[in-house]
Structure 1
Amino acid sequence: MPLEHQGSCGFLRCPAEILDLVFDLLSTAELRALGLVNKDLCALVEPYVYSKIDWTWRENHAPPPITPLLRTIISKPQLAARITSFRFQSNPACCWEWNKFAAQKISIPVAELHEFIAFVQRTGVPYRDLWTEQLSNGDSDALLALFLAHLSNLRYLSLDYIFCRQSRIIQMLLQSAICNPGMYKLPDFQHLRAVSFHPYDDSGAPYTALRSRGQSPLSQSLVLPLFYLPKIQRISAAVENTDTFAWPTDCLPDPSKLTSIYLADIREANLGSLLSVTRNLRSLRWTWYYDAGVHDAIVVPIVNLDGIAAALSHVRDTLTDLTIFAEAPLGGGDQFYPAVKMEGSLRTMVEFDKLKRLQIPLAFLVGFAQDTTKRLHDVLPRNIEYLSLTDELGLQNNDGFFETWPMYEWQDFALLILLRTWLKDWRTYTPHLRSVSLVYDELDTYQGEWPPELRHQLTDLGTQAGVQLDLVEWRRAW
């Protein structure tokens, strides 16, 4: 359909593809300024201005303009349909102040508040009185939930972990909208393709888990409804453990398009329950975690390798990329890292024929005790192409308090022997292997690790075997 007054601006005669290239180069402020020129340009830039909302709330700064935007999309519902991506992050000065930061109130003018409350009452949800009460208090959870309740065309959602921690209304909203579609006047979020409630970035480096930052995982009631979204492709979240795992509805989810998951803190048994419904999963990143301050039947200082193997078996026929991190950090006032031990084996992982990329703590494959008679090819997937071995859990039990639990004993020379045993005949066991990376912590504790002579031997081993061997240093974000 031709635009009005097209002749008044030659720029508007350009093909849509050219206009797209131009608009992609402009900032949001520039797009807004362009939209003020005339109605034709306003109609063209509007999808770009509203399609992606990306906000960061910094400490000692005013909150992002969520109230004015809500006022706008309530008066012009067509604009709400333009929003396909919403990202709301925070930037407190100190991670220990996250809870205090997230509890900040957002002022809502009286006129807007009445309009917001009226909308909540029209939804018909059973918790609308609590919702309106929290709106009146200026709670960010209630205001964010109200904003989400207008986004019928949302494709990508990323909420900062600290706001999710206090997300009682958002949690109930997602359950109502996703698990009971059509029952209330809410969007069903059926267009959502990617959801992130994760506190970590996507760099692929090992991370310090949540509790070591004074935080705790998110409620399963917030995360589990996401698995019922028919178009969901990626989920990223830190998830709590429960003694009795239960899906929010009587029917099991069937996220057939879900191909990528990043889960933190959830332990072996609960992990298996989640993976049991992911029949097409290709990429999994998971953080095994132990907190010495938690005393229950699930968060225990034992890496249940048989349990991990059983959980992963649900996706053995589809998984191509697996990353496992491991964290058992210092507790408050502790001088030594808590003792952790391995039980069982990951030997069944040899049969994971689709797995091409693997990053995993060395201890998960060969234990803590330095035993060069162990063979990596007894546990590595036979079609593996890229392998990264990390030294995570390398500081556990280093005070020797649990005398029957071994400390992490693997040293550089012993690891070199382990690699040499495998690589002298690697084509028999892992014929598609391309590269191996040894990822080790650059803490002062490990000064002198991989001296020049051993680095030279490692390089020679890679050359002789015809496999790229790399040493990768990383620094933990304590």
Structure 2
Amino acid sequence: MAQFSDFPNEIIDHILSFVPRCDLPNICLVNKSLQVSADPLLYSTILLDWHFFHIPPIIPLLRTLLQRPELFAYVKTVSLHGEPFPSRPETPLLDMTNIALDDFIAAIERTQAPFTDYWVRKVRLGGTCIEALAGLLIANLSKTTRLAINHNFINGRHLIQKVLQAKIFGPCQMPPFSNLKDIRYYQNRDPSFARYNVIFDDAISLFYLPTVTHISVSFWNPEVFQWPAGEPHLDHLTSLDIQWLCDAFVAKILSLTRNLKSLFWTWHFENDPDDPWDSSTIDFDNIVAVLSHVKESLRFRLDVGPEEFEDWDELEFTVLGSFSGLRDFDRITHLDVPLTSLPGSGPKPLPLEQYVPDSVEILSLPDVAFCEGRVTEDWSGFGADDIVSVIQPLAETYPTTLPRLRCINVFDTKTGSFKRDANLDARLKEISSGFDVQLLPYELPGPRFYFGEG
């Protein structure tokens, strides 16, 4: 009778693809042949979740990878994820009892990074050395296609940023990212320590990765925008998600992205005294001019308002211009902008067909309340009746206007103003003709970092 290990590799690989990930280590213990087949599945995705009540098992993982360095070639997806720690003085400690550090230190020294001494000191700190070990993991990645790093691995920490920059610019003996397509690097703003938010130099260096097609990154506006090594070549970039960066600096990036297909841009207007480019003026004409760099191929989202909803009340702006120039962006298929920003500085939204390109298929309209230069969480000047009055004329003339429209998503913010109208959802469905209208809860954009299994 034929042994299972005698089957063709294609059949074995197909069967193992149905085995739960948690059972793959046991498969590796059966025999050497099955281990060879199971290893690529077991190590293809690495997810390390670090938060106050959970320490990731990075020590046994990294020890195995360093003892068998050929396994690094199987690592395709890495996500270093963690919710920000609560406002407490202590950091959750890694249990380093009876842990030999010699292999880790030797691996660090082999990188020949200019900050090796600093790196080794971080490892020797013991319980707080997770970032140093995570940096060692990143240092040895070469065939990885998707990499996500956020929050706890970045906030107030510098080692991972140093490793990334060494892999990008050198000098070091770390393997370059030869297959990386998707890089996501996101940090929540830290309200307690403003210096932790100064991550522009770290974030902008990611644009020098030569094979990446998608970048998702948060910034803090610098006093001066400067490329660290001359203007990068960004023809390979097709998708971009930018958080916090102001329009003047976004323009400098978009001017180099000749093949961008999708842009998700979140710029919070907060009049922050620590941000030299945070402005109390919203100029829609200027935003359209910034986006004109990629008007030939663009999916666009803009969030307007402060990052925290409790700060919305009576936040004042000077509002200039309008989004009427978007009508010329004839390749936009997905458009997501606050409904009340479409008319610009006017108090009443004008017909959507005066602002939305005919090419749009999915139109998303958050009910961000801002009128006559004021954002407020309880704006009585805009509500359910206004939503109906905006969409109904479009429904009556469809498909003459916006002929490719398939769906309008109307997002209700945490103010719940639409929830108080129990009939709104039914009214929206009643007036729609040829396209769907959905009333959805609105969520602030955040990291979308997990790829694959959780």
Measured against the shorter chain, the TM-score band is 0.7 to 0.9
Matched, 1:185 2:157: no
Alpha-carbon RMSD across the aligned residues, in angstroms, is 3.2
Aligned: 1:80 with 2:111: no
Of 150, 155, 175, the residue aligned with 1:160 is 150
Distance in structure 2 (CA, Å) of the matches to 1:353 and 1:257: 22
Output one character per residue of 1:315-358: Cα deviation in whole Å (capped at 9) or x when no partner: 11121x222223314598x6935223422222221111111111
Matched, 1:225 2:205: yes
SS for the counterpart of 1:33 is helix
Aligned equivalents of 2:8, 2:18: Cα separation in 1: 16
Q: Identity over aligned residues, as a percent?
A: 26
Matching residue of 1:327: 305
Check the 8 A contact 1:290/1:327 in 2, yes or no. Answer: yes
- Distance across 2 between alignment mates of 1:147 and 1:345: 48
How far did residue 435 of structure 1 move?
2.4
**1:393/1:408 contact within 8 Å kept:** no
User: Contact 2:407–2:437 at 8 Å: present in 1 too?
Assistant: yes
Match for 2:358 among 382, 394, 401?
382
1:308 to 284, 287, 306: 287
Whether the 8 Å contact between 2:114 and 2:172 is mirrored in structure 1 is no
Cα distance 1:127–1:315, how it changes in 2: closer, same or farther (>3 A)?
same
Secondary structure, counterpart of 1:377 in structure 2: helix
CA distance in 1, matches of 2:81, 2:396: 49
Q: Secondary structure at the match of 1:158?
A: strand
The partner residue of 1:257 within 228, 236, 246 is 236
Higher helix share: 1
Amino acid corresponding to residue 169 of structure 1 in structure 2:
L
1:143 aligns with 2:133: yes
Once the two structures are superposed, the pairs formed by residues 244-283 of structure 1 within 5 Å of their partners are: 244-250=224-230, 252-283=231-262
Q: 1:450-465 residue pairs with structure 2 within 5 A?
A: 452=423, 458-463=428-433
Identify which of 48, 59, 64 aligns with 1:67.
Answer: 59
Shift of 1:389: 1.0
Does the aligned pair in 2 maintain the 1:329–1:337 contact within 8 Å?
Answer: no
C-alpha spacing 1:330/1:459, structure 2 compared with 1 (3 Å): closer
Whether 2:403 is the aligned partner of 1:431: answer: yes
Amino acid at match of 1:234: H
Where structure 2 has 5 or more consecutive residues not aligned to the other structure, the ranges are 447-454
Distance in 2 (CA, whole Å) between partners of 1:239 and 1:438 is 28
TM-superposed deviation, 1:444 = 4.7
Q: TM-score, normalised by structure 2?
A: 0.85
Shift in Å, 1:416: 2.8
Compared with structure 1, are the counterparts of its residues 34 and 473 closer, same or farther at alpha carbon in structure 2 (3 Å cutoff)? closer
Amino acid at match of 1:462: S
Does the 8 Å CA contact 2:219/2:243 hold for their aligned counterparts? yes
**Do the aligned partners of residues 230 and 293 (structure 1) sit closer, same or farther apart at CA in structure 2, a change above 3 Å counting?**
closer
The DSSP-based 3-state class of the residue aligned with 1:151 is: coil
Contact 1:330 1:337 in 2 (8 A): no
Aligned partners of 1:280 and 1:318 also within 8 Å:
yes
The letter for the 2-side match of 1:441 is T
User: Deviation at 1:159?
Assistant: 1.8
C-alpha displacement of 1:288: 2.0
Contact 1:190 1:229 in 2 (8 A): no
Deviations 1:344-375 (A, max 9, x none): 22222111111111111112212364325x33
8 A contact 1:438–1:470 mirrored in 2: yes
Partner of 1:350: 327
Contact 2:288 2:326 survives alignment (8 Å): yes
What CA distance in whole angstroms lies between the structure 2 residues aligned with 1:304 and 1:411? 24
Which secondary structure does the structure 2 equivalent of 1:261 belong to?
strand
Which one-letter code corresponds to 2:158 in the other structure?
Answer: R
8 Å Cα contact 2:322/2:344 also seen in 1: no
| Letter aligned with residue 19 of structure 1 | I
- Name the amino acid aligned to 1:344: G
Give the CA deviation at 1:51: 1.8
For 2:452, the equivalent position in structure 1 comes to none
Deviation (angstroms), 1:281? 1.4
Q: CA deviation at 1:105?
A: 4.4
- The alignment covers a number of residue pairs equal to 441
Q: Which runs of 5+ in 1 are unaligned?
A: 1-6, 200-208, 401-406
Per-residue deviation, residues 24-58 of structure 1 (Å, max 9, x unmatched): 22233311111111111111111112221122234
Instruction: Tell me the secondary structure at the aligned position of residue 81 of structure 1.
Output: helix
Superposed displacement of residue 154, structure 1:
1.6
The reply on whether 1:236 has 2:212 as its aligned counterpart is no
What does residue 448 of structure 1 align with? 420
